[in-house]
Structure 1
């Protein structure tokens, strides 16, 4: 009953303008955000309200007007005419979102941006996710399920079964999305790396069999052009042990991946390998390159790896991948993200500031699109397929503008696709869809029309609980972006209700 009352209260607030502190950010990484309170573009003394917070900057850092102007492409200002014009454009794009999803966006946005509600809400979700009690199992407790599924699960996840997933996918296709990335949400409980030493290899690992069957079932639910997301550690603790120790994959896992990739190729779908913590990532990259070397030989990227731009090594990783793809003549598939493990990673491996991460992300995207990565000419540049996955609107707009400009000049940039997580950054997704319509996608399949995807997990409510906790944490840590999104959603709701 408390949640229903809260939902009604949020709806009431949604119909009133919120003129409180403006929070501006497009960062999706935990513990990193830009906060800018009550900006007055004519009063330089108010710039001491600009705060940069990150794990490497525990105390506020003042930013001068000159440095702020220098990085104006990364930080929005308020108020100005261009910002107001962009917000009006965003509102017009949001007509695609159902009213139910619009209300849920506003409700969850209020929760994630309220320190009190977020603290206790995530504590409850974490308790449920880590409990083995049947009382706290949403798959067994009907009351708990009735609270979690419609308010949280349905917002971020595709469904618990084939029928629910089809309904979600059909809804997204009617909105105009090119396709989806569907990920089987089964997770193995986290284990300390030291504990992995105690595991003995098995001739037949049941965890790998369950993982394989779940991913094959995922393939059954997607269509040609869609992606299946793969997380190697979901195959069990023995696979995690091999990753942590930089060993070759177990033969059983190789056989499973061969079956998954061959099935995906036969039905016209694709596979991407998710990034994970750095204790596993170097081996994940090595295994993924082996698969790209085998399956990406016909001019297309059946398999793509995930590159995290917040890592200081990101550009050198791209250079090494390009060199291998060029030398061995296969297509390099890259899903470019900022990164999602900043809270648990070795901080020295990660860029010191958000601006550095943004710069790394944008420069990699630009160099791959223009085929001008240092050390390679356009004539010897390998085939690359780029998927920009992210919730930073500035980076997305920059990349699409560059891509469209290259096409207009008669050049042939590397193919590009865009994607956001289900339940997040719907304003950015809708803006991209509107760009596609403007480019004449429905009429003549204009090559400059962006191909937009939504990424989502599926599984039982219980299986998805850890995923839901991560999504809640990510949304709250990017509170400024969330605040801006809620404001746009509120205006769209008022428009629909005639206010």
Structure 2
């Protein structure tokens, strides 16, 4: 039961949520509702569903987030798909692995319930790939624009797998039913390759004050050590590209001097 003050905050939040959705729809912008801890995700999904009913009648204005590191991710995806199908509205989801692995595990141990996180990294990878592939199969069978997917991943294997499946299933990657995304400054070689080959790709940039954005960035650094390793790979690739361009510049200047 919410208190009077909590109900006031909820109503104000819903009014702001509604205005953001209206503006996004008017401007042709897709809005993604992030997922958080499992303790508040049900509330996020409930509020999102209310807005899906109002704004996703013909286009994916609002999209939810599915965390593939959760054991319940496949079931949650199916529930939201059914909700959208029954309401005859457009389904949209951003598929991520998840950023609260340490915190969720610690909370489960402290409060004495089963760890909601997949038992291994491999299991998370499998969950991620299977959820995305299931959605791609649905898109290939029903080319009616009713399903939209954002593949938010820094994992090269997952991105390569999705690109292959798009070709296997005959899905036109220029339609925008499937898009890709990475964090700004991470896996830039993946982003650049996708962009160079005309795949729709987004870069996520946290906006706000230092006090607001640093905790977000710290969580990603703390919870995603594999991404940091990917950052080292990015730097290696950047150094190789810079060296190649410098050699071309030097050799090019040398040829010009010889011609003169």
The answer to whether structure 1 residue 431 and structure 2 residue 193 are counterparts is: yes
SS in structure 1 opposite 2:123?
Answer: helix
* Aligned mates of 2:102, 2:94 — CA distance in 1: 21
* Aligned mates of 1:479, 1:264 — CA distance in 2: 33
Q: Return 5+ residue gaps in structure 2 as ranges.
A: 109-114, 249-260
Please tell me whether the aligned partners of residues 406 and 413 of structure 1 are also in contact (alpha carbons under 8 angstroms): no
The answer to whether structure 1 residue 416 and structure 2 residue 165 are counterparts is: no
Superposition RMSD in Å: 3.0
SS in structure 2 opposite 1:333?
Answer: strand
- Counterpart of 2:35 (choices 263, 275, 280) is 275
Q: Which region of structure 1 is more displaced relative to structure 2, 413-422 or 475-484?
A: 475-484
Q: Deviations over 1:264-297 (max 9, x none)?
A: 1111112110111111111111211121122100
State the structure with bigger RCO (CA 8 A, min sep 6), 1 or 2.
1
Q: Which structure's CA Rg is the greater one? A: 1
Please tell me whether the aligned partners of residues 149 and 177 of structure 2 are also in contact (alpha carbons under 8 angstroms): yes
SS in structure 2 opposite 1:345?
Answer: helix
* Aligned mates of 2:221, 2:97 — CA distance in 1: 17
Change (3 A) 1:381 1:309: farther
* Aligned mates of 1:286, 1:202 — CA distance in 2: 17
Report the equivalent of 1:351: 118
Report the equivalent of 1:399: 162
Q: TM-score, normalised by structure 2?
A: 0.82
Report the equivalent of 1:338: 97
Please tell me whether the aligned partners of residues 84 and 91 of structure 2 are also in contact (alpha carbons under 8 angstroms): yes
Q: How far apart are residue 406 of structure 1 and its match?
A: 2.4
Q: How far apart are residue 378 of structure 1 and its match?
A: 4.0
SS in structure 2 opposite 1:365?
Answer: helix
Q: How far apart are residue 395 of structure 1 and its match?
A: 0.5
Report the equivalent of 1:302: 61
Please tell me whether the aligned partners of residues 310 and 357 of structure 1 are also in contact (alpha carbons under 8 angstroms): yes
Change (3 A) 1:329 1:486: same
Q: Deviations over 1:162-192 (max 9, x none)?
A: xxxxxxxxxxxxxxxxxxxxxxxxxxxxxxx
Higher fraction of helix: 2
Q: Deviations over 1:219-265 (max 9, x none)?
A: xxxxxxxxxxxxxxxxxxxxxxxxxxxxxxx2111111111111111
SS in structure 2 opposite 1:463?
Answer: helix
Change (3 A) 1:265 1:479: closer
Change (3 A) 1:494 1:380: closer
Please identify runs of 4+ aligned residues in structure 1 that moved more than 3 A.
Answer: 197-200, 202-205, 377-382, 474-480
Q: Return 5+ residue gaps in structure 1 as ranges.
A: 1-196, 206-249, 437-449
SS in structure 1 opposite 2:13?
Answer: helix
Q: How far apart are residue 403 of structure 1 and its match?
A: 1.0
Please tell me whether the aligned partners of residues 369 and 414 of structure 1 are also in contact (alpha carbons under 8 angstroms): no
